[in-house]
Structures are given as structure tokens and as C-alpha cells.
Structure 1
């Protein structure tokens, strides 16, 4: 079992090179993060090569996204740098650190999760096998909602295919060193489209309508991450999300889990979760929804982390 330890999270900045050094919490595995980020060759929003992560980040207002390289200098320490010639400024370095802290859920004290998991017959082996795994998030609300809608009732490979088509048709493109990286489309990029245009990507009519409707809500400011974050309870946040056309309980809980960082959220109807539980319980059939609720009840308020570890057991 991983021991969280006392390492403090901090960062340093070299003004000459623009390189940022991040000190990580002890209960974080860079290898597990790389494993998750490398799960599909169709991924277009980041690139993993030689244990380095490349991602376009919007770090300063009114400027083009910056291509950031993330690497592990040594265990417990990450290096962040721009790979496009212009060094990061102090403010851009701070913004990059903030993004990665949210992306990898680095500010969370996961000690209670590990304490709980160590005593649990189902979670204990998962927590030991994948020690240091944290929920890799989707910090941008529109991206999280779009990804969830695209992934409704299709397998993961086809969902990645649909996301890739959406990003390459309407996202921002950056060429670097013979590679192409992308930024996810903004709500305004999708809000002005027609259903027929999105149907060209092989999205269903319903999903096209859902994406355009969500984009319009976000572009107008009627739906914001800040407003969702201010909801008094998880149930209220879920109610707000499910009041939007195209967002049901699975989509709402997926977004609350990976974007809003609600550790008690979990998409109970998720096929991957059901398959992971079936394997972990050595069953011949998937557990029912009532069984899943009963299994998860002792894990409150760490349901989201339990889901992520169960998903990890499938790969």
C-alpha cells in the first residue's frame, strides 16, 4: 500500500530558461498517469512520447496556446517547459502549474481513500496494484460535456474516433516537430454549426443537437463551471446538469467526476464499471444497479476514485 508521506507540493521557476520545477505529492504515480494518457492511439489533445507529455495550454489572455512539455526529472518532481522557442513567463509558468494540478488532481489529500481501501476486500488489491493513480480530469467543462455526450452508448474506440473528428474539424491546430497537436473547440466554435454539419462527422442527429444546445448555453454564459461549482450539494449540481437536454444521470456523474472533481460522483450505469465489478467479484453476470449501490455505499465519499481504480483494472 502506498504511504502518502509528508512531501509538500511546491514549484520553482528559472527566469532564464522559463523552466518550471514542480514538486509532487508523495501519493502520485507519474507512470500511472502516463498509462492512462496513452490508452488510445486516437487521442489528439495530448501526445505521450518517451515518458514525456506534450499538450497545448492556454496560459495567458489574448495569446496563442503554448505547447508544453511535461517530464519527470526524478521521482516526485516534474519539469514543465515551452518547446516552441519562447520561454515561459512567470505568469504562464504559474498558469501551467495550476492547470496540471487540476488535470492530475494533485491538490487532493487522498490519504482517507487509501486508509479506507486498505480495509476493504475489493479495493485493497486495486489500491496496491495501482498505487499513486489519481483521477485524470478534463478541466474544461465544454470538453468534458462534449466528450461525455460523444461517448454515450458507444464503445471507447468509436468515442475516440468521434472526438478526433470533432477536434480536427473545429479545434485549433498546432504543428510542431513533425507532429500535430490540437486544442478542443470552444463553445462558440460549435454553437454556430448546423446539425447537418455535425452529422458529417458520423454523429447521430440527437448527439449533434445535444452538442449544439450545450455549446449555445455555454457561449451565452447560461451554463458555467463556476455556477456548477457553487451548487450547495452534489445532488443540486446533478439536477442542474440533467435539466439540460442530452445530459442524463450517467453524463452528469461522469462530468461531475472528471471535471467538477466531486469524489462522491459515479456513473452507475457505466458499462466499463459494470465489467470491472463483474471481473473483480468473479461473477458470470454484471451486478445490478441495486447491487452496485450497495457495494459502493461503504466507499462514500470516494466513489469516483473507486470507479477510476476499477476502470484501471480493465487495462
Structure 2
């Protein structure tokens, strides 16, 4: 197999929370599409229609980034690889501004200071984020991971390294609804996934924007018109696909549980209560949600 390899290096902030990034990508124990070991992450992606392996090797003060593409003529500039890595690692997220703004907040400040440097891991493409959000609607994380694994294997795009690659919209659009039903998608989710894939292929839905600042509001409004996609799916997609930090994730069960722990409430938090509380933290609502996710994870480990 002829491959093309390109690489770059990035400096990391001294407070960079590497374990947050690695933990996000190690959730599937079978590691069919992502492999994490020591301070390395290997992830199978599709680049310009061809299988590729993205390798991130974390050093004491930086990261070495390498992309190996199973196509000798694939075009890739170092700036493109660097931009991808910066986005995925959350290095363009203004964490210092957030922490300075809310570090003294009476309810949230202590948590922010305890979890200083927290950044939101972003997926390799907005389509991966959207399809993952659709997969995870109203089911457990474990069930969603199982469906995701079978979905990746069903499409069957494998890099020469052995890793399967998360499919792009062009490959998913060729599937039949029965293909998706066989790997565990409900009828409605399968139809929604096919719809968004076909819309991307036809150009009716544009998720990959070349400009530095994608038109978040335009994307949000367009996604909300698609049957099977609601506010939680949109805001989660914008967070994991673009690193947009102001989507309200009040519909997320783990966010509500985190808020209950933070506020020391005996009764569970309702969606409307959570929405109203998060409104106080715009334009950081999704980043606040990420801090609550981590709080829930820490509480689970201590239990």
C-alpha cells in the first residue's frame, strides 16, 4: 500500500489536561477505530475519501502530529494538519478568559479552579460529531458506543495500519436503511443519519467550512429543520464538531446530575431548572456543561 505521510508539532500549555483528551477517545475498549496507549492516540479517519490514520504523540511540553493517508496523491498541507490538531485538542478554546471570568463565581468557581485547564475534546469532523450525537440520543453511553463500533465496522473502511476509519457522509449515504438497522440504529435514527448524509453529498447541508469562524447560527438553524434532530443534538454537534462553547446542554442527563451534585440538591434537577441556571453563564454554557460532566465522572470513581 502506497501511503503519504505528513507531520507537524504543537506546543501545549503548561496546564494542558492530557488525560481528558485520552479518556474521551478510549471509551471503546475494543479499540477498532481509536487506539490509546501511554501518551499516544491513533485514530482512523477519512481524508479526501481515503482511509487515513491520525497519530498524536504527547511529549512533556508538546505534541507530535502525523497523518498517514492510504493514497499517494492525496493533497495535504502542514497548515491543514495543524489546524485539525489544534481544533481536536481544544487549543483554540479561550480557556484563560473563561477561568478568569468565572473563577470567583460563588457556585462554580471552586469547581473551575479544581479543574483548571479543562478543554473540550473535539472530533475529527463535524459529520462525525453529528452522527455520534444522533447515535447517542436517549440511550446509554455504553449502548451508543456499541452501535458506533458496529456502524464503523459495517461501513468497513480500514487503514493499512489495521484501524477502521470513522466513515464520512459520502460513504454513509450509499448505505441502505436496513444496513443501519442491523447494527442497532432505530428506524428513526437510521433515517435521520441517511438524510443528513445525503444532504451533505447533495450540498444542501454544508458542515465543513473553510473559514476560521464557521457560521454557527446558520448551521444551527439548518440542523433544526431536519426531522429527528432537536436542540440537544444540535448543541452537542456544535460542541464536538466545532468547539462552540455556548450551546445549552440542559437536556443532558449527566449535566443535570452534575448540577445536582454541585448545588448539593437532594432532588434531581429538571431540564427547565438546568436551562435557567446555565443561562447565567452564556457564552460559556457548553464549557460549564463539560465541567459538570467531569464532576460526575469524578464522583462515580469515588463512589
TM-score by length of 2: 0.85
Matched, 1:22 2:4: no
Alpha-carbon distance, 1:19 to partner: 5.2
Matched, 1:115 2:97: no
Alpha-carbon distance, 1:189 to partner: 1.9
Distance 1:284 1:58, change over 3 A: same
Alpha-carbon distance, 1:226 to partner: 4.8
Alpha-carbon distance, 1:153 to partner: 0.7
- Give the alignment of 1:31-180 within 5 angstroms: 31-42=19-30, 44-57=32-45, 61=48, 64-74=50-60, 76-81=61-66, 91-176=76-161, 180=162
Distance 1:118 1:148, change over 3 A: same
- Give the alignment of 1:214-253 within 5 angstroms: 214-226=196-208, 231=215, 234=217, 236-253=218-235
Matched, 1:299 2:288: no
Alpha-carbon distance, 1:36 to partner: 2.8
SS of 1:47's partner is strand
Quick one: distance in 1 between partners of 2:103 and 2:253? 26
1:6-52 deviations in Å (ceiling 9; x for gaps): xxxxxxxxxxx965321123452223322333344255432110121
Alpha-carbon distance, 1:175 to partner: 4.7
Check the 8 A contact 1:33/1:133 in 2, yes or no: no
Quick one: distance in 2 between partners of 1:211 and 1:42? 24
Quick one: distance in 2 between partners of 1:194 and 1:91? 32
Alpha-carbon distance, 1:230 to partner: 5.2
Matched, 1:189 2:177: no
Gap runs ≥5 in structure 1: 1-16
Quick one: distance in 1 between partners of 2:183 and 2:27? 22
Pick one of 258, 264, 269 that aligns with 1:287: 269
Quick one: distance in 1 between partners of 2:40 and 2:27? 15
SS of 2:59's partner is strand
Q: Number of matched residues?
A: 290
Alpha-carbon distance, 1:276 to partner: 1.2
